[in-house]
Amino acid sequence: MKFRIVSVFALVALIFSCEQKPSQTEIAEVLESLIDVSKNDSSLVDAYRENEFQPVWTQSGGLKKVAENYLEALDEVVFDGLEKTDYLTEELAQLIEASKKSKDPMVLATLDLAMSKSFLTLASDLNIGKIDPGKLNIEWKMDRKIPTEKYSEVLLAIAGGESPEKSLANLRPDNSEYNKLREQLRKLIAEPLVDSLQVKNFEGKIEQGDQHEAIPSIRKKLAFWQELKSEGTGNVYSEDMFKAVTHFQKRHGLIDDGVIGGDFIEAINYGQADLITKIKVNLERWRWLPDFTENDKDKVIVNIPDFRLFYIQKSDTILTSKVIVGKDYRQTPVFKSDMTYLVLSPTWTLPETILWEDAIPSIQKDISYLDKHQMKVLDFDGNEVNAKKINWKSLKSKGDFPYMIRQSPGKLNPLGQVKFMFPNDYSIYIHDSPAQSLFSQDERTFSSGCIRMEKPKEFAELLLAETDDWDASTISDSMNLEQEKNVSLKKSQEVWILYVSVWDIAGNVAVRKDVYEMDKKLAAAMSLPVSTFFL
């Protein structure tokens, strides 16, 4: 969206060389010439041609009222996590000042184009996001949102009398989570807090009734985050402080047992500037996303930083389950798919990464590894191969091993008793897990990318509730077979794997740790500050 801007020096000369106020026709003629000789965005060109090159924002006396309304509306974009100066640039501000004195149509035409460029840039940034996620080094596989409006038509609507405020409101995500988070940012900007000192790390843990030298600084931090009404005095972990600690733990996805340890100290030490940055990057990610509230289909939503799955039917959450997601070096990607079937008593075919990094090195050390883990070697037609006839020691690369290794159903199978399939390019699915103790951890990044679920049987029962011949008993029996069994769903379920690290919950801010550093990478792209205590 580039076009020629008259230099400030040229503007000054024009101001003093012109005496008559230009007519609308004169401004339109200059606009047409500027459009024709410049390389402009198609939205800009389309809008002006459709409007017969009539100015949108300017008139013979300077700015129209609609332009003043737009400039006022720019005050609101800070609550979207955007910078006003990206749209009211220094160059645009100079043109506005020049237009107050100049009578030259070139000044007004150039200003009109600059205003339109500003508006179209903001329209796109609000509607689909400022940063292209494809240019960031993150596991973001979601298709970027298609613009909900044709920006040239939005500009034409303003030329026809629609208010810029209304136009911008329509371009924002039609999403209650976005709107609530936006209001939280408004509140933080309106009521800046004075941060206290950081809480120093300590060995061990503190429980209610204990005395500890860290208590005063922890109380100050709790008061800073408005969990306590006052900082209080003394070194005793009191009852009122216990209530504040458990509430803080709930907001931050920690086990709300009131025990103060390393995870709690890490969570409480970030500051308001970090929270503002966290909200801004999450607002930006919401703008990237297609609107998943646009239909009434059943939805399975997994929020990676929250380590939770939500099953939604007709806008009601009917199941919530803890989940385990991928390790930092085997991250679960953000993407969308449709769940179409379940596999009961699943086998597990080892993926290439696990085959070469884990299984083959173990087999090379001990061939009995296969029997101990109920694994078989198969060719790609599914025929079993005698593992003892393979020269395991010689295997160095994929070409050396024209087989696959498959683990039989059973208690040793890492997929547990059921897996939920939503075909995708990343070999990701949701499944049961025999390692139930891991669900008690605060931070659950233990898998190789797939999503392990704490409540798979309950989920299966809900999914198959409308499927003939399936009830809790038949599901339970089929989860304990020696051969896997596929069951097609009566209707597909949308699956959304998301990365949401802060949101509004009943007027409070829920915050989650940036486990894959997507927040930090996006903050860097948006030139937002991040402290060493960023959560």
Q: How far is CA 86 from CA 75, 83, 166, 224, in A?
A: 12, 6, 20, 32
Catalytic residue among 18, 252, 373, 450: 450
Distance between CA 523 and CA 182 in Å, rounded? 17
Exposed, middle or buried: residue 492 (CB in 10 Å: 0-12, 13-18, 19+)? middle
SS3 at position 226: coil
User: What tokens were used for 80?
Assistant: 């979207």
Distance between CA 99 and CA 106 in Å, rounded? 10
Tallying the residues shown for the chain, one arrives at 535
Distance between CA 222 and CA 70 in Å, rounded? 41
User: What tokens were used for 260?
Assistant: 């103060």
User: How wide is the angle at C-alpha 495 spanned by C-alphas 494 and 498, nearest 5°?
Assistant: 135
Q: How much is the CA Rg of the chain, to the nearest whole Å?
A: 30
Active site residue 212: no
Active site residue 18: no
Q: Which amino acid is at 297?
A: K
Q: Which amino acid is at 273?
A: A
Q: What is the DSSP letter of 355?
A: I
Q: How far is CA 64 from CA 18, 71, 230, 295, in A?
A: 21, 11, 51, 40
Other beta carbons within 10 angstroms of residue 224's beta carbon come to 18
For 192, phi then psi, to 5°, come to -60, 140
Catalytic residue numbers, as ranges: 431, 450
